[in-house]
A and B are shown apart, each in its own frame.
Chain A
Amino acid sequence: MSMRTRLGAGLAVLTVVLVLFALWLTVDRPVRANAGDGEDYASPLEVLLSPDGARLYVLCQQSEEVRVLDAASYAVIRNIAVGRVPRGFSLSPDGARLFVTNSWDDTLSIIDTNVLAVVATWPVGAEPSSVIEDRAGKRLFVANRISNDVAVLDAQTGVEEKRLLAGRGSSYLTLSPDGTKLYATHIYPNPSPHRTQPESEITVIDVARAVVVNRIPLHAIAGVFHIAFSADGRLGVVAELHPKNLVTLAHLEHGGAFEDTLTVFGADVGKTVEVPLDELERYASQPFGVAIAPDKSRIYITSGGSEMVTVVDVARLLRFIHAHAAPFVQDLSASANYVVTRIPVGHNPRGLTLTRDGRRLFVANRLDDTISVIDTRTNRVTSTITLDGSKTISALRRGEQTFYTARYSFQGQIGCSSCHIDSTFDGLTWNLEPDGFGRSIVDNKLLEGVKDTEPYKWTGTNPNIPTECGPRTEKYFWRSENYDNLTLADLATYIRSLPLRPNRWRLASGELTPAQERGKAIFERAVDKFKKPIPEENRCSYCHSGPKGTSQKIFDVGTRKPNDNTGLLKAPMLTNIALTAPYLHDGSARSLEEIWTVYNPDDKHGRTNDLTKDELNDLIEYLRSR
């Protein structure tokens, strides 16, 4: 074969490879939540042990698997693929079935633990995040984050019986030790009037009747995570965030932005009491997982931002509570009365579980791909299980670690994810110092899909993500140290990588419903109902143009309040807008409807006052599909 022939053949092969690669790129493949760097990270989120203690099940969010390890040797027994972005799992009471919630494809994977394989996949509600089977094996309860409810399913068929109203962002479920009550928490605060303290709840469900029987109020709390009970059922503990969003978020050294707290309740306490985990110069940022020792001597809490496990002495905690009049949540000296120690673990520790004898504590370090094994007698990490997968730390992963850690802020108080819970938002409005004390209240926005939607900030004064996340964040939030250039670049890479989650209001076919079609016509109209032309800048589709619903330009839509420095605002994205109440730059509109029924008297925010109520409903149905 001549050189030319070989060259031609080589070029042909190369062409074929390139064409195939191009075709591969165009295939509509599922997008993983944080994928994009080609690394096969596991991202362990939750852990649990089989009833006999022989197996350790690890829920890996990024590799979308349940990994089954030998709980003694930590050897891998099996990796079981599940659905998209799994978020929660639990075992049936006999340990024979493992239920996994797949939060991005709205399904439940049923794993037979005898054969270690998925034997069924059931459709459930929007963004299922936690699942529990009742003791009788009759019903499954599934917390759906987007639909804000707890679905009740037939445990044998998966057929949904009903949905119970839970808190906003319904996410975590725990069964009481006697199996009679189910406790549900939620990550976003329930709707409340503008600039009032956030209100959350623990939803209490009677398991036998499958109805809500109580809602334990959690005042001033926004962001409620796992609950644990003592074996005797007399002590309940929940990990939560206590934001200080009603005061100006000034220097962290002047009071901070959050308290990281527990609420304890039950017969041992006698009432519901919130207790701080933080101490001066040492915060327990972003508490998430919680476990109580079998003998009720200790409480263990993971702090995702502070990368540690806090150990609380129960007896001392109860003595403190009974001896002091609440509230003492802002007393940074309080935790010294009951915190035994703080155990450093890996990046972004989340779920944790204790062995039946309480001797070993397993902690899932989500952004390390490791499991810390803690000896509870010495309170030291005795071994670290490294999960299979890439050992290269990519820019994306470094960026995600930076996003979740609190190490950059003064005293380690907060991280990006304190407000952007699970890289989303927090449902709160904040008063940021650079705009002036009491000036320019701002609603916290969703980060997903922000890539290429510059400028940033409600006023559009930050030209790009590095500016938004760099000097501004360092100066006004962290008050501590600057990111080095590489860290900032990695953080921006991570934020730019955040994909949009599936839109639950859009039909699977991609078509619009009749109401959405009617709403789209209103969104795009150029003439009002009186046949008068609508000026270009007063059409929905002009300011909210493009695939993400933003023209990226600045407008005055008549929403300026007396305490706003300007009425000029960047047209925000519309993607997944149904999730992100409240609305408008200051969060004054509690619903999409209020944007137009209350805050658009002069038709500056689009020509809408000629619409009937059903037409406005159609417009909103269309917006929800964006």
Chain B
Amino acid sequence: MMKKFFMIAVLLLAGTTAFGAPTAAAAPQVPAPHVPKMPLFRFENFTTANGLPNDHVYAVLVDGDRIWAGTDNGLAVYEHHAWKTYTTADGLAHRAVLSLALDKRTGDVWAGTMGGLSRISGGRIDSFTQLNSGLSNDVIYSISIEGENVWIATAAGACRLDLHSNQWSLYNERNTPMVEIWSYAVSATPTKVYYGIWGSGVLEYDQKTGRWDKYDDPDGENEIVLFKDQGLIHEIVTSVSYVDNVLWAATYFGDSHYDGRYWHNFLTKDSGLPSNFTNFIKGVDAKRAWFCTDKGLAYYDGVNWAVYTPSLKDGTPQMTVRDAAGKVTPITVTTALAHNYILGIDFQGDDIWVATAKGLSHGIRQQQQGHKEPSS
């Protein structure tokens, strides 16, 4: 219970210490030749000052030319250079939108809120709650769509909604190895479905066999790591991303990479992570991933790290690059993310959209002379 209060407090209060959001400015300088060339961005930020319904942005979703932002006061969509907000008056299950997912086949957007699950389809919103449907709990932290299945992580277990049969399947301590039922993240593919459970590690569902497996921190709930890369870095898992047969898992005590055989863990002391406190992780492929932490946004290209954040001291734009040898080089930039407390990220071609505790940021990719970074 204390963990839940802790997390809610973190989510709700993080933004209160925010620094002012920088506005767009001139393009960044080109780093020195010896520094690994990592993605450079010019950030344009959105807050209530320019159309967002609320500065607390829990989740962001790129849907072609449309950008969806799950905020503390409604679901906002950015289209044709204007924001439109859906509220409970439109049928949204709750004003606080914690998670978003796109059904790429149908174009429907699914929103997980603090009061249920909403499906936005062609402008119509249908909402499912624990009272009017088979949904196990109204607090929805994560959604992932695979084929006809909507996989949901709730405060009281995992759910699957089969869109063909409209049947709900609930997964909890009674039918999975889940010890705690506070499900915080889900990443579903046609072969495997991974759940990140608060205090109960990572659960793996094999779509073919219908069996569940579990990955725990070998050190239990202790905040220690006896042997590096022995297994999952911590039991309190906040985010999972399964891509190219590799699982990326985020916790509040470091992050993990698992290729089905070997684990590799990331901690601030031996990687470029700006913080072990990671809210969200999104793998690009088996090697590359983005880490959304309380001290900025980090990108790992498999060797080098880049960190983007406004300064924790004075809010000035900062970017650092850490090479394979651990050498950290500051890069001069003139724009920064809306806030250092990062909650989500999605990709729009080479651009990134970033949800923060004090606004939504659009990272517009900048070309470095003579060098083109691989696309995210």
A binds B: yes
Measured CB to CB, the residues of A under 8 A from B are: 147, 161-165, 190-191, 201, 203-204, 209, 211-215, 505, 515, 590-591, 593-594, 597-598, 612-614, 616-617, 620-621
Question: CB distance A598 to B131 under 8 Å?
Answer: yes
Give bound CA distance, A147 to B119, whole Å: 16
Question: CB distance B131 to A597 under 8 Å?
Answer: yes
SS of A interface (majority): mixed
Question: CB distance B167 to A165 under 8 Å?
Answer: no
A212 touches which of B121, B134, B164, B174 (Cβ 8 Å): B121
Question: CB distance B106 to A613 under 8 Å?
Answer: no
Question: CB distance B122 to A212 under 8 Å?
Answer: yes
> Lowest 4 A-B CB distances belong to which pairs?
A212-B122, A211-B107, A614-B170, A597-B131
Question: CB distance B132 to A593 under 8 Å?
Answer: yes
* Those of B145-200 within 8 Å (CB) of chain A: 148, 156, 163-170, 172, 174-175
Question: CB distance A614 to B107 under 8 Å?
Answer: no
With contact pairs A191-B126, A214-B123 given, residues A613 and B164 touching in the complex (Cβ less than 8 Å)? no
Number of CB contacts from chain A to chain B under 8 A? 73
Give bound CA distance, A235 to B327, whole Å: 68
A163 touches which of B107, B133, B163 (Cβ 8 Å): B163
Q: How many residues from B make CB contacts under 8 Å with A?
A: 29
A204 touches which of B122, B166, B175 (Cβ 8 Å): B122
Residues in chain A near residue B174, CB distance under 8 A: 612, 614
- List 17 other contacts, CB 8 Å, given A165-B121, A590-B132: A162-B106, A163-B164, A165-B108, A201-B124, A211-B122, A213-B122, A214-B122, A505-B165, A515-B167, A591-B132, A593-B131, A594-B132, A613-B130, A613-B170, A614-B172, A616-B134, A617-B169
Residues in chain B near residue A209, CB distance under 8 A: 107
With contact pairs A515-B167, A614-B172 given, residues A165 and B119 touching in the complex (Cβ less than 8 Å)? yes
Question: CB distance A617 to B168 under 8 Å?
Answer: yes
Residues in chain B near residue A165, CB distance under 8 A: 106, 108, 119, 121-122, 124, 126
Residues in chain B near residue A614, CB distance under 8 A: 136, 170, 172, 174-175
With contact pairs A165-B106, A614-B172 given, residues A591 and B123 touching in the complex (Cβ less than 8 Å)? no
- Closest residue of chain A to B171 (Cβ to Cβ) is A614
Residues in chain A near residue B170, CB distance under 8 A: 613-614, 617
Give bound CA distance, A290 to B124, whole Å: 27
Question: CB distance A215 to B124 under 8 Å?
Answer: yes
Give bound CA distance, A598 to B123, whole Å: 28
The 20 listed contacts between A and B (C-beta, < 8 Å) are: A147-B166, A162-B105, A163-B163, A163-B164, A164-B121, A165-B122, A190-B124, A191-B126, A209-B107, A212-B122, A213-B122, A215-B121, A215-B123, A215-B124, A515-B169, A591-B133, A593-B131, A598-B131, A616-B134, A620-B134
Residues in chain A near residue B133, CB distance under 8 A: 591, 593
With contact pairs A165-B121, A203-B122, A621-B167 given, residues A212 and B136 touching in the complex (Cβ less than 8 Å)? no
Residues in chain A near residue B121, CB distance under 8 A: 164-165, 212, 215
Question: CB distance B106 to A212 under 8 Å?
Answer: yes
B136 touches which of A164, A201, A591, A613 (Cβ 8 Å): A613
Residues in chain A near residue B132, CB distance under 8 A: 590-591, 593-594, 597
